[in-house]
Amino acid sequence: MLNLLKEAVLKGDMTEAAELTSQALEDGVSPGEILSDGLIATMDIVGQEFESGIRFIPEMLVSAEAMKSAMEILRPQLIASGIESRGKVVIGTVEGDLHDIGKDLVATMLEGAGYDIVDLGVEVTAGQFVEAVQKHSPDVVAMSALLTTTMVFMPGVIQALQDAGLRDSVRVVIGGAPVTRDYAEEIGADGYADDAPTAVALVKSLT
Ligand code: B1M
């Protein structure tokens, strides 16, 4: 059963992934087993295939969508079964920026790795990041930017967290096509990831 679920996620079949998840639950497979052996293990394969150049972004996206549809079925069960979360991540695309495909992929893969995600969406201002940190007390704030004209809002978010006395309570990680490791260091972020699997590894290393 879990092998069929793995196959469905690998090929990016959203309907089959959701149906097989429901079926596995009906057959008595535990939500934790479905998550770790059926979904997280598969997204690890997706990440490895992406890193070795066997899988490309569109294939990674369809697998992420299939995993999202399985997670929709599994999420209530996971909450009910009280599986402990690895931590909480507030994520958003920065002010002025509408690009959300990469941010969504990072959020989905983090969710698959066991993190609670508070997704603030796109065009998120420094003030909204601060409010979300005050409200949700996350372990990590993750910012995405796809434009050279919007990545410049990232230091403002870090400064706003500092001004609100929250900077020491969260790790700040950044990513997106124009963002670099040097830029992360320059603006005082705690880490940079250039793709979704690396973002998961980075967040794991910080929490
Ligand atoms: Co726009 N766009 N776009 N666009 N767009 C780019 C980014 C661009 C490079 C295209 C180009 O000119 N070659 C260019 C930016 C140039 C620059 O600033 N250097 C550009 C431009 C100019 C614009 C507009 C200004 C165009 C215009 O209106 N004149 C405009 C801006 C709108 C705005 O935001 N205010 C615009 C609009 C759009 C659409 C709305 C049409 C659409 C976005 C739809 C959407 O997201 N819902 C769009 C798209 C689709 C693109 C391209 C073609 C694809 C982006 C994408 O989704 N990639 C893009 C060109 C390109 O990248 N090839 C382009 C797939 C995605 C999986 O990758 O987002 O890089 P990516 O995410 C990766 C990593 O970056 C990383 O992990 C992800 C997964 O591996 N990552 C993180 C991302 N966020 C992370 C956060 C982390 C860690 C890793 O936190 C720790």
Question: 80: which residues sit within 8 A by CB, 6+ positions away?
Answer: 31
Residues 39/70, Cβ–Cβ less than 8 Å: yes
Q: Whole-angstrom Cα distance, residue 100 to residue 48?
A: 23
Question: 185: which residues sit within 8 A by CB, 6+ positions away?
Answer: none
* pTM of model > 0.85: no
Q: Whole-angstrom Cα distance, residue 112 to residue 170?
A: 21
Mean pLDDT of the chain: 92
Residue 80's pLDDT is what? 65
d(CA 107, ligand 1 centre) in Å: 16
Looking from the CA of residue 203, the nearest atom of ligand 1 is 91
Bridge partners of 87?
115
Nearest to 106 by CA among 3, 201, 4, 6: 201
pLDDT at residue 2 above 90?
Answer: yes
Mutation probe of ligand 1 site: the residue of 104, 117, 146 with most atoms within 8 A of C-beta: 146
Give residue for tokens 């979300």.
132
Q: Which of the following CATH numbers is that of domain 88-206: 3.40.50.280, 3.30.450.20, 1.25.40.10, 3.40.50.800?
A: 3.40.50.280
* Domain positions in the chain: 2-80, 88-206
Residue range 130-147: mean pLDDT, rounded: 98
Looking from the CA of residue 192, the nearest atom of ligand 1 is 91
Residue range 156-180: mean pLDDT, rounded: 98
The per-residue pLDDT for range 17-52, each reduced to its tens digit, is: 999 999 999 999 998 899 888 988 898 898 789 889
Q: Give domain 2-80's CATH superfamily.
A: Methionine synthase domain (1.10.1240.10)
User: Which pairing describes strands 115-119 and 171-175: parallel, antiparallel, or unpaired?
Assistant: unpaired
Lowest mean pLDDT among 5-9, 55-59, 94-98: 55-59
The verdict on the CB of residue 81 being under 6 Å from ligand 1 is no
Half-sphere exposure (Cβ direction) of 50: Cα atoms closer than 13 Å: 22
d(CA 53, ligand 1 centre) in Å: 21
The per-residue pLDDT for range 79-103, each reduced to its tens digit, is: 666 567 889 999 999 999 999 888 9
Nearest to 73 by CA among 47, 101, 39: 39
Residue 83's pLDDT is what? 64
The verdict on the CB of residue 104 being under 6 Å from ligand 1 is no
CA distances from 88 to 27, 72, 117, 173, 184 (A): 31, 18, 6, 13, 21
